[in-house]
Amino acid sequence: MARTDPVRRQLVAIHVLKSKAGMDDSSYRAMLREIGGASSSKDLTATGRAKVLDHLRRITQPPVAKPRSRPYPGRPHTTDQRPLLQKIEAQLTEAGRPWNYAVGILKRVSRGRAERLEFATDEDLRKVVAALTYDARRHGGTT
């Protein structure tokens, strides 16, 4: 067989992945029979080689980690620079409410001028703080 023969490359890949998986000969041959339908890799059909390669890749590759979500979804990126946003963050935390709650209040008090807390004026943010204070008192909290 020539060096660039695809069958040879697949057989080499099967043996490399077998070693990577740490399979002994008996478990390797059992896997070949079960997945590929042959007791030797050289006897595998093209479909059998593909199935065996897929199986070996699946068991040797580490699990893919889920993308991390933001620790505080909706938290404005300017919170640390603006004291009013820090106050809003504290009120939301104490009330157990998400950032979207404050965004909803902002949309109401700004009458549509501001859609996001990052771009709200200090006057609008003060109105949000007042609304959150009123909400906390209404629900028995402090602030």
Return per-residue pLDDT of the chain as tens, 143 residues: 455 588 999 999 999 999 999 999 999 999 999 999 998 999 999 999 999 999 999 999 887 777 776 666 778 888 888 999 999 999 999 999 999 999 999 999 988 788 888 889 999 999 999 999 999 999 876 65
Q: CA-to-CA distance for 141 and 41, rounded, in angstroms?
A: 70
Same domain, 16 and 56: yes
Report yes or no on 67 lying in a domain: no
Number of structural domains found in the chain: 2
CA dihedral 38, 40, 45, 50 (to 10 degrees): 100
Give the domain range for residue 108. 79-136
Report yes or no on 69 lying in a domain: no
Predicted confidence at residue 61, as pLDDT, reads 86
CB-CB contact of 100 with 93 (8 Å): no
Same domain, 87 and 54: no
Same domain, 51 and 89: no
Same domain, 56 and 84: no
Same domain, 132 and 85: yes
